[in-house]
């Protein structure tokens, strides 16, 4: 393969060395167009423009130059000896000639009848994102990407609200045309050309039973035919710090906290516990003796400092692209290294990608999009919870430098010991994606394409902790591999007959994934020298293994018809079979239909409308059940084993662990979408609006059943859920002069979901369908309803306190007595829980500003999630424990804790638990300056002097500030004051892109 690449490069390097022509390619508005293609017609001699739209190319008299760019009308200019040529390309219709991936093919955006969006990746190229999905965070209406706080983490993705309760919530990812089940973080963001998101059912239905949560189509970069080789390097270095500067209490603050815990003794009762008790000292506290000893010795130690490190990310990518007359190539190698805040939370990834496309004959093209990814997550990360638990007076090592096993003197093991463990966690992916395309010679417009994908995901983990398993030493090795095979046969017929354009696609394919994993571990090591490489040294040895296999089989047909570029129609039908479907329901059918009307093309409107297209679509999609979920399982686990007699042999136990459901089927979503795409005011305002309304039936659901059956739940299809929402995307250019321009993009999405029906039963006889309180589901309310006890405040000393509560405990509202009668003075689950709010946003919004002045470009992006009156709520929990453990522990200085001296505190005490223990709800709404960057593109003169093709330097910032009322680490991740998890980071980046 590599040989082939080199050969191609060598070939295309030959055959130019004449006079040099340079110039600039701009759009109609004068904006330079980077990435536009310039080639000498009929040759392999070509180039692409740099960031300034500039190019230079060696030409000879008589050459005809072809200038082209996606979405623009191509131009031809004959070379007549001039040294400079500036070209202005005319917009074909801005953005509308854009080609969009639609699944098993591409379509011009102008031909779409459904709702598919191309993500604006360029605007986020300067952010230190290790996963491409982070570039979509807040920037695509209707797509919600979760915040990440770990090194090399895949963010969560949600498209158009939640359509499921217990089913899968992940969208389907399609990489270069084939379904991709690996980690998105394995794909180098720099290799990605475009990301398209299919949002409405008519677009998604081509993926049938797997499409209900949306489809994300990722396309990697390719070379261009007849283009001279371009070698590019881009790199950045980024440093990070937590977005909140919370720290653990220092010695003095912490000593005060102990007095608060022991306030009944440490303060005098006569003073209402506000005056210190002179007879009290720390040796009388409930703190553990080791802690008391440490208090007396006057020590202070900063555990947070010892458990954190300088966080940084660096990234280097080198790629070569170009093409000969019949071949194009893109070869890239990348290296990413990330070190997160907590020690050993490290990630590195090396990537190699080869994308090739070769015309073998006039009718046969073969190609590959192959990549290898080597990710390394090695490093044993100490538990933040245990770091927090260490009192600030105890130390990790004693005076002689020996590790202290239990610093606070209870069973909490020194968290830094875990960090000493040898740890290896390597995750490799080999993804071979090959295709062959045949233009059927005897039928014009008919092609056959074969996609064949084989993916190997291998995970190898090993850990050796000499302090593990009660300091006897613990070692573990795990290997897990998955093998995926996919084969798609795609027949496409695309042809114009006068005003009639037809594009028909037929797909027949299958997909098979097999997984197997083995874990071997052991404890009790007398000689630690061999670490995890000789597990058999363990006194106690354990093994376990597992395997599964799942298969999909599918057929799909799609026909798109276009009359005069004015009337558009698309219809699809997919038939899906999945091994995980129950025996009575092996196949499902998923139809869809869409129509579009380009109003502005109507002659009777004349020139009044610049561009307006109306779209309407309807379709059916599914959400698969998980494999084996319809079967009754018999498990035989370790906890079921028994040994009869002293020194006897182990007898395996077995029992049935789940109930079978032979009728289990996929969830079905029926969705209607209305949309409009428009361009007004001389292309100054461009955008689209979509409204959708979907109903999901046969929800996959682990319905709670009484455990007298022997089971606590069973997976079933039940009920009905509605989602409706609106998505708006607007692009404007408010200011534009020759040196300065301001581009503004605003996207907005609102989604509302509602439980329409559950079991369809009315057992309480009130004429209305019953809620499923045990599952937290209520008819007419949103899926994210939060049902619980209303906190009215905190009980104070001197209050007449309800039984089971005490000063410093949350005061719960007595909503009612039995069966809704008047409040009865007691708090019970039956009578006093109410719907307090929900956790869905009212709207999400992204605002991107782009300011260009000469060679400088400033971009800043706000991500906004707003919950409204009682939406986007989250519980803010507090540290809890016994008085003894709490007095021996620490907590973050974010905790505004109740005490007799601080009666107006926000949070209740955590060392006594009331009859009913709950937390307080807070709004997570926020506005975040998520990305900001300033870049400078080197002037042409400078570039020429250095001898480069183009160069850009930039600085950028991520998560710069957040405006929110949420108390604690981060509203988006929902981490509150009691975060025992990883903080969200703010980063500062400096980067460089060059090509030659």
Residues 618-637 that bind other proteins (CB under 8 A): 627-628, 631-636
Q: Which stretch binds other proteins (CB under 8 A): 337-345, 372-380, 678-686, 767-775?
A: 767-775
Q: Which of 916, 977, 985, 994 binds other proteins (CB under 8 A)?
A: 916
Neighbours of 378 (CB within 10 A): 17
Told to check if 119 binds other proteins by CB under 8 A, we report no
Question: Is the separation of the CB atoms in 268 and 278 below 8 Å?
Answer: no
Question: Is the separation of the CB atoms in 651 and 641 below 8 Å?
Answer: yes
Question: Is the separation of the CB atoms in 56 and 246 below 8 Å?
Answer: no
Q: What is the dihedral of CA 695, 700, 702, 708, to 10 degrees?
A: 100
Told to check if 707 binds other proteins by CB under 8 A, we report yes
For residue 365, give the 3-state DSSP assignment.
strand
Nearer to other proteins, 819 or 904 (CB): 819
Told to check if 773 binds other proteins by CB under 8 A, we report yes
CA 217 to chain CA centroid, nearest Å: 14
Q: CA-to-CA distance for 955 and 936, rounded, in angstroms?
A: 9
737 CB burial (10 A radius; 0-12, 13-18, 19+): exposed
**Of 422, 459, 424, 426, the residue nearest 350 (C-alpha):** 426
Q: Which two tokens stand for residue 786?
A: 């939060």
Nearer to other proteins, 92 or 293 (CB): 293
Told to check if 882 binds other proteins by CB under 8 A, we report yes
Residues in the chain: 996
- The string of DSSP letters for 85-150 reads EEEEPPBSSTTTS-EEE-SSSEEEGGG--S-EEE---GGGTTS--SSGGGGGTTTSTTEEE----S
| Cα–Cα distance list, 857 to 318, 584, 596, 851, 943 (Å) | 24, 59, 37, 6, 18
Told to check if 945 binds other proteins by CB under 8 A, we report no
Q: Which of 10, 271, 496, 545 binds other proteins (CB under 8 A)?
A: 545
Least distance (Å) between residue 535 CB and other proteins: 15
Q: Which of 237, 335, 403, 448 binds other proteins (CB under 8 A)?
A: 448
Q: Which stretch binds other proteins (CB under 8 A): 101-109, 537-545, 666-674, 746-754?
A: 537-545
DSSP 458: E
Q: What is the CA radius of gyration of the chain?
A: 32
Q: Which of 763, 765, 800, 941 binds other proteins (CB under 8 A)?
A: 763
Burial 550-584 (b: 16+ CB within 10 A, else e): bebbbbbbbebbbeeebebebbbbbbbbbbbbbee
Size of the site for other proteins (CB under 8 A): 121
Question: Is the separation of the CB atoms in 986 and 242 below 8 Å?
Answer: yes
Nearer to other proteins, 17 or 649 (CB): 649
Told to check if 770 binds other proteins by CB under 8 A, we report yes
Least distance (Å) between residue 684 CB and other proteins: 49
Nearer to other proteins, 245 or 639 (CB): 639
Half-sphere exposure of 760 (CA within 13 A, CB side): 8
Told to check if 405 binds other proteins by CB under 8 A, we report yes
Q: Which stretch binds other proteins (CB under 8 A): 29-37, 64-72, 495-503, 575-583?
A: 575-583
Q: Which stretch binds other proteins (CB under 8 A): 246-254, 387-395, 406-414, 837-845?
A: 406-414
Told to check if 299 binds other proteins by CB under 8 A, we report no
Told to check if 528 binds other proteins by CB under 8 A, we report no
Q: Which two tokens stand for residue 341?
A: 């805040």
Q: Name residues contacting other proteins, limited to 787-806 (CB under 8 A).
A: 803-804, 806
Q: Which stretch binds other proteins (CB under 8 A): 235-243, 283-291, 328-336, 891-899?
A: 283-291
Nearer to other proteins, 57 or 538 (CB): 538
Q: CA-to-CA distance for 700 and 698, rounded, in angstroms?
A: 6
Burial 404-429 (b: 16+ CB within 10 A, else e): beebbbeebbbbbbbbbbbbbbebbb
Q: Which stretch binds other proteins (CB under 8 A): 74-82, 158-166, 388-396, 910-918?
A: 910-918
Half-sphere exposure of 613 (CA within 13 A, CB side): 23
Told to check if 406 binds other proteins by CB under 8 A, we report yes
Question: Is the torsion defined by CA of 6, 12, 17, 20 positive or negative?
Answer: negative
Q: Which of 549, 760, 896, 945 binds other proteins (CB under 8 A)?
A: 549
Told to check if 645 binds other proteins by CB under 8 A, we report yes
Nearer to other proteins, 62 or 648 (CB): 648
Q: Which of 18, 20, 83, 361 binds other proteins (CB under 8 A)?
A: 361
Q: Name residues contacting other proteins, limited to 53-92 (CB under 8 A).
A: none
Least distance (Å) between residue 947 CB and other proteins: 42
Residue found by looking up tokens 């131009």 in the block: 75
Least distance (Å) between residue 803 CB and other proteins: 6
Q: CA-to-CA distance for 958 and 972, rounded, in angstroms?
A: 14
Q: Name residues contacting other proteins, limited to 137-166 (CB under 8 A).
A: none
Told to check if 642 binds other proteins by CB under 8 A, we report yes
Q: Which of 914, 957, 971, 974 binds other proteins (CB under 8 A)?
A: 914
Nearer to other proteins, 460 or 882 (CB): 882
Q: Which of 326, 428, 551, 566 binds other proteins (CB under 8 A)?
A: 551
In 854-968 the beta strands, taken as DSSP E runs, fall at 856-866, 873-876, 920-923, 926-937, 950-964
Least distance (Å) between residue 581 CB and other proteins: 8
Least distance (Å) between residue 331 CB and other proteins: 25
Q: Name residues contacting other proteins, limited to 577-596 (CB under 8 A).
A: 577-581, 586-587
Q: Name residues contacting other proteins, limited to 655-674 (CB under 8 A).
A: 655-656, 659-660
Q: Name residues contacting other proteins, limited to 505-524 (CB under 8 A).
A: 508-510, 523-524
Question: Is the separation of the CB atoms in 461 and 477 below 8 Å?
Answer: yes
Told to check if 284 binds other proteins by CB under 8 A, we report yes
Q: Which stretch binds other proteins (CB under 8 A): 69-77, 220-228, 248-256, 282-290?
A: 282-290
Q: Which of 190, 307, 394, 759 binds other proteins (CB under 8 A)?
A: 759
Helix, strand, coil content of the chain in percent (nearest 5)? 10, 50, 40
Q: Residues 314-353: x/- map of binding to other proteins (CB under 8 A)?
A: ----------------------------------------
Q: Name residues contacting other proteins, limited to 458-497 (CB under 8 A).
A: 468-472, 474, 487, 489
Q: Name residues contacting other proteins, limited to 366-395 (CB under 8 A).
A: none
**Of 188, 270, 280, the residue nearest 235 (C-alpha):** 188
Told to check if 953 binds other proteins by CB under 8 A, we report no
Q: CA-to-CA distance for 203 and 871, rounded, in angstroms?
A: 30
Told to check if 404 binds other proteins by CB under 8 A, we report no
| Cα–Cα distance list, 590 to 217, 619, 665 (Å) | 19, 7, 14
Q: Name residues contacting other proteins, limited to 813-832 (CB under 8 A).
A: 818, 826, 828-831
Question: Is the separation of the CB atoms in 714 and 663 below 8 Å?
Answer: no
Q: Which of 74, 650, 682, 902 binds other proteins (CB under 8 A)?
A: 650
821 CB burial (10 A radius; 0-12, 13-18, 19+): exposed
Q: Which of 436, 528, 801, 842 binds other proteins (CB under 8 A)?
A: 436
Least distance (Å) between residue 703 CB and other proteins: 7
Least distance (Å) between residue 966 CB and other proteins: 29
Pairing status of strand 99-101 against strand 106-108: antiparallel
Least distance (Å) between residue 530 CB and other proteins: 18
Q: Name residues contacting other proteins, limited to 247-276 (CB under 8 A).
A: 265
């Amino acid at each position: 393969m590599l040989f082939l690449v080199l050969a191609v490069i060598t070939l295309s390097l030959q055959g130019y060395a004449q006079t040099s022509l340079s110039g600039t390619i701009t759009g109609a508005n004068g904006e330079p167009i980077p990435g536009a293609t310039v080639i000498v017609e009929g040759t392999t001699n070509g180039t692409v423009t740099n960031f300034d739209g500039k190019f230079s190319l060696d030409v000879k008299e008589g050459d005809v130059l072809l200038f082209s760019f996606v979405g623009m009308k191509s131009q031809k200019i004959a070379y007549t000896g001039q040294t400079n040529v500036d070209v202005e390309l005319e917009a074909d219709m801005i953005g509308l000639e854009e080609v969009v991936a639609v699944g098993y093919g591409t379509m011009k955006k102008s031909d779409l009848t459904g709702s598919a969006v191309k993500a604006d990746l360029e605007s986020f190229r300067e952010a230190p994102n290790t996963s491409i999905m982070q570039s979509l965070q807040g920037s695509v209406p209707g797509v919600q990407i979760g915040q990440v706080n770990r090194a090399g983490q895949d963010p969560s993705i949600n498209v158009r609200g939640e359509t499921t309760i217990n089913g899968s919530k992940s969208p389907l990812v399609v990489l270069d045309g084939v379904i991709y089940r690996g980690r998105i973080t394995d794909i180098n963001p720099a290799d990605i050309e475009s990301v398209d998101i299919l949002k409405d059912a008519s677009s998604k239905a081509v993926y049938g039973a797997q499409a209900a949560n949306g489809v994300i189509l990722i396309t990697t970069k390719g070379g261009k035919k007849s283009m001279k080789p371009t070698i590019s390097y881009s790199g950045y270095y980024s440093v990070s710090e937590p977005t909140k500067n919370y720290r653990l209490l220092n010695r003095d603050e912490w000593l005060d906290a102990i007095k608060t815990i022991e306030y009944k003794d440490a303060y005098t009762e006569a003073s209402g516990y506000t005056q210190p008790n002179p007879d009290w000292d720390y040796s009388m506290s409930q703190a553990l003796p080791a802690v008391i000893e440490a208090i007396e010795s006057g020590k202070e130690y900063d555990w947070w400092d010892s458990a954190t490190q300088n966080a940084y990310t660096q990234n280097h990518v080198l790629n070569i692209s170009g093409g000969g007359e019949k071949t194009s190539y893109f070869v890239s190698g990348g290296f990413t290294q990330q070190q997160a805040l907590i020690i050993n939370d490290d990630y590195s990834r090396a990537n190699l990608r080869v994308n090739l496309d070769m015309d073998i004959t006039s009718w046969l093209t073969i190609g590959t999009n192959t990549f290898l990814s080597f990710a390394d997550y090695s490093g044993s990360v100490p538990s933040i919870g245990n770091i927090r638990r260490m009192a600030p007076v105890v130390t990790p090592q004693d005076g002689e430098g020996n590790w202290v096993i239990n610093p606070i003197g209870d069973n909490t093991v020194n968290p830094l010991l875990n960090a000493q463990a040898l740890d290896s966690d390597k995750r490799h992916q080999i993804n071979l994606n090959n295709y062959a395309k045949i233009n059927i010679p005897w039928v014009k417009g008919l092609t056959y394409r074969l996609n064949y994908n084989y993916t190997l995901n291998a995970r190898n983990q090993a850990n050796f902790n000499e302090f593990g398993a009660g300091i006897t030493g613990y070692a573990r090795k795990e290997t897990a591999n998955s093998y995926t095979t996919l084969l798609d046969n795609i027949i496409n017929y695309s042809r114009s007959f006068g005003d009639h354009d037809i594009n028909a696609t037929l797909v027949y394919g299958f997909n098979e994934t097999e997984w197997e994993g083995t874990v071997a571990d052991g404890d009790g090591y007398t000689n630690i020298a061999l670490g995890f490489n000789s597990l058999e040294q363990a006194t106690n040895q354990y093994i376990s293994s597992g395997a599964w296999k799942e298969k999909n089989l599918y057929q799909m047909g799609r026909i798109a018809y276009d009359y005069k570029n004015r009337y558009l129609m698309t219809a699809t039908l997919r038939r899906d079979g999945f091994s995980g479907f129950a025996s009575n329901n092996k196949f499902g059918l998923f139809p869809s239909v869409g129509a579009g009307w380009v109003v502005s093309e109507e002659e009777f409107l004349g020139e009044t409308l610049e561009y307006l297209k109306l779209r309407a679509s309807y379709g059916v999609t599914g959400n698969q059940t998980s494999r084996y979920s319809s079967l009754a399982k018999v498990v035989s686990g370790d906890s079921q084993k028994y040994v009869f007699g002293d020194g006897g042999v182990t007898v395996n136990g077995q029992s049935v662990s789940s109930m079978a459901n032979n009728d289990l089927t996929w969830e079905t979503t029926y969705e209607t979408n209305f949309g409009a795409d428009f361009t007004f005011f001389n292309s100054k305002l461009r955008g689209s609006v979509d409204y959708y309304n979907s109903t999901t039936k046969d929800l996959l659901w682990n319905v709670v059943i009484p455990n007298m059956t022997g089971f606590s739940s069973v997976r079933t299809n039940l009920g009905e859920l509605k989602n409706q929402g609106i998505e708006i995307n607007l692009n404007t250019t408010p200011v534009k002069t020759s040196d300065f321009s301001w581009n503004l993009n605003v996207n907005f999405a609102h989604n509302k979901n509602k439980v329409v029906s559950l079991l369809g039963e009315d057992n309480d006889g009130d004429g209305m369908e019953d809620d499923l309180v045990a599952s937290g589901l209520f008819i007419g309310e949103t899926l994210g309803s939060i049902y619980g006890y209303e906190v009215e405040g905190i009980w104070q000393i001197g209050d007449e306190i309800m039984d089971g509560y005490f000063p410093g405990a949350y005061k719960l509202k007595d909503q009612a007595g039995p069966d809704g009668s008047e409040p009865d003075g007691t708090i019970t689950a039956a009578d006093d829980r109410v719907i307090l709010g929900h956790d869905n946003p009212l709207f999400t919004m992204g605002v991107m500003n782009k300011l260009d002045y000469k060679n400088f470009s400033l971009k800043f992006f706000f991500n906004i999630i707003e919950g409204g009156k009682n939406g986007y709520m989250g519980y803010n929990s507090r540290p809890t424990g016994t008085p003894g453990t709490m007095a021996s522990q620490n907590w973050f200085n974010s905790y505004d804790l109740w005490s007799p001296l601080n009666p107006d505190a926000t949070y209740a005490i955590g060392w006594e638990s009331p009859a009913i223990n709950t937390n307080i709800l807070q709004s997570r709404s926020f506005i975040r300056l998520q990305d900001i960057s300033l870049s400078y593109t080197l002037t042409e003169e400078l570039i020429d002097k250095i001898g480069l093709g183009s160069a850009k330097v930039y600085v950028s910032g991520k998560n710069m500030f957040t405006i929110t009322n949420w108390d604690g680490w981060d509203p988006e991740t929902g981490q509150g004051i009691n975060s025992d998890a990883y903080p969200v980071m703010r980063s500062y980046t400096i980067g460089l892109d060059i090509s030659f």
